[in-house]
Amino acid sequence: MAVLSSAKRVLPWASCNGHALARVSGGLRGLLGTADGAAAAGGCSLLPCRWRSSLPQLDSVDRSDEDSSGGDIDWDNLGFGLTPTDYMYVMRCSQGDAGFSRGELSRYGNVELSPSSGVLNYGQGLFEGLKAYRRSSEMGGYTLFRPEENARRMQVGAERMCMPAPSVEQFVHAVKQTVLANRRWVPPQGKGALYIRPLLIGSGAILGLAPAPEYMFLIYAAPVGTYFKEGLAAINLLVEEEIHRAMPGGTGGVKTIANYAPVLKPQMDAKSKGFADVLYLDPVHKRYVEEASSCNLFVVKGGAVATPATAGTILPGITRKSIIELARDRGYQVEERLVSIDDLVSADEVFCTGTAVGVTPVSTVTYQGTRYEFRTGQDTLSRELYTDLTSIQMGLAEDKKGWTVAVD
């Protein structure tokens, strides 16, 4: 029983597909002599050639631009648009393999997918988001923030979505490779970060509703500044009462791609009215605040801080988790609990957290036509926590927590 459950953790899709685990485990792992494909030797003799030919390949001439600057980029006005960079990382896992292996960098470009791939037909996919920061010129190199947390979150999501996932080592190795290959796109210190977007998708063809027979792990990257058009300024949020982001027993607690398209409509409607994002309520009582389309939420009242507990409908944000720890270090009592709409509208201070949004203060929340205002600016907890967090991320403060990972 114990063997089965740990096997399921490693290869959730193997059991989903009804394969005998012994057969699966003896596959590629035995051939390579290692379970970690990232550490395994290169080459593609075990991969069907069509996989190789569908990717823009690296060549030695192309790599010569890695040390030059990021072209004509206006580093002062980055925003969160997509600036295509030079390279992406791709790794595959096929039915019968022991796991992902033989990842490689290729030129950033389109990927080939079957029209009947699991991701296109049934939304079998996950994504992650993390950032690389340029260290000071004296130190050199780059810093990642808790990348192993993203790797573990992807593993949890993969289990839920019946997919195999890269190991933590494979994930972090792939992220580092992607950063180094695109290093000319990492913004200067203080101007932003290289946003790294890992994807895990059911790339194999399937018609009946079932897990796909092949999976692709892909990472691309883009230089980014602030997420909201308001920049570092406080944002206005609208509480959405009709459309819900997640439901008990659903997938709100994992970072599946399927959670994001359904929030486009309320988000676009709110944006057209001048709001930066939407706050969702729980679908059962319509009384408890969950999160925004793109980030988690915190409320501050007196010396107490609260954030909705991650009980299945809330995304367990890595920034959220870090901010809880940093606020506790500052002596605040932080509760992960149900946060009612009354808690929200009566708060002194409200802020959002996320990889893309960082720590963003909220100046107003509109609920049932009434606009509630909160404290922003100097002497707010969100400002202090923003400074605490970004100082660690950018290498300006000592990382006593061991959260950063160097990429040299």
Number of residues in contact with ligand COI, rule: CB under 6 A? 5
For the CB of residue 252, give the shortest distance to ligand COI in the complex, in Å: 14
Query: Whose Cβ is closer to ligand COI: residue 70's or residue 317's?
Result: 317
CA angle 96, 197, 320 (to 5 degrees): 110
For the CB of residue 104, give the shortest distance to ligand COI in the complex, in Å: 24
For the CB of residue 109, give the shortest distance to ligand COI in the complex, in Å: 22
For the CB of residue 260, give the shortest distance to ligand COI in the complex, in Å: 6
Binding mask 278-317 toward ligand COI (x if CB under 6 A, else -) reads ----------------x-----------------------
CA angle 60, 63, 67 (to 5 degrees): 145
Which stretch, 36-44, 101-109, 350-358, 393-401, contacts ligand COI (CB under 6 A)? 350-358
Q: Does 355 bind ligand COI (CB under 6 A)?
A: yes
Q: Which amino acid appears at position 294 of this protein?
A: S
CA dihedral 387, 389, 393, 399 (to 10 degrees): 110
> Restricting to residues 206-225, which ones interact with ligand COI according to CB under 6 A?
none
Query: Whose Cβ is closer to ligand COI: residue 106's or residue 404's?
Result: 404
Distance CA 116, CA 118 (A): 6
Q: Which stretch of DSSP H or E encloses residue 385? A: helix 381-393
Select which of 8, 229, 255, 301 is catalytic: 255
Q: Which stretches of 125-204 are DSSP H helices?
A: 147-160, 168-181
Query: Whose Cβ is closer to ligand COI: residue 106's or residue 360's?
Result: 360
Angle between helix axes 147-160 and 318-329 (nearest 10 degrees) is 130
Binding mask 231-270 toward ligand COI (x if CB under 6 A, else -) reads ----------------------------------------
Query: Whose Cβ is closer to ligand COI: residue 102's or residue 320's?
Result: 320
Query: Whose Cβ is closer to ligand COI: residue 106's or residue 307's?
Result: 307
**3-state DSSP of 46-94:** CCCHHHHHCCCCCCCCHHHHHHCCCCCCCHHHCCCCCCCCCEEEEEEEE
User: CB of 240 within 8 A of CB of 367?
Assistant: no
Query: Whose Cβ is closer to ligand COI: residue 24's or residue 200's?
Result: 200
Q: Which of 69, 160, 56 is nearest to 105 (CA)?
A: 56
Residue nearest to ligand COI (CB): 129
Which stretch, 111-119, 185-193, 332-340, 353-361, contacts ligand COI (CB under 6 A)? 353-361
Distance CA 143, CA 247 (A): 36
For the CB of residue 220, give the shortest distance to ligand COI in the complex, in Å: 13
Residue located via tokens 């399921």: 8
| CB contact set of 48 (below 8 Å; sequence gap of 6+) | none
Query: Whose Cβ is closer to ligand COI: residue 29's or residue 245's?
Result: 245
Q: Does 356 bind ligand COI (CB under 6 A)?
A: yes
Is 176 known to be catalytic? no
Q: Does 354 bind ligand COI (CB under 6 A)?
A: yes
Distance CA 253, CA 259 (A): 9
Residue located via tokens 């699991």: 118
**Residues of this chain that bind ligand COI (CB under 6 A):** 129, 294, 354-356
Which residues form the catalytic set? Answer: 255
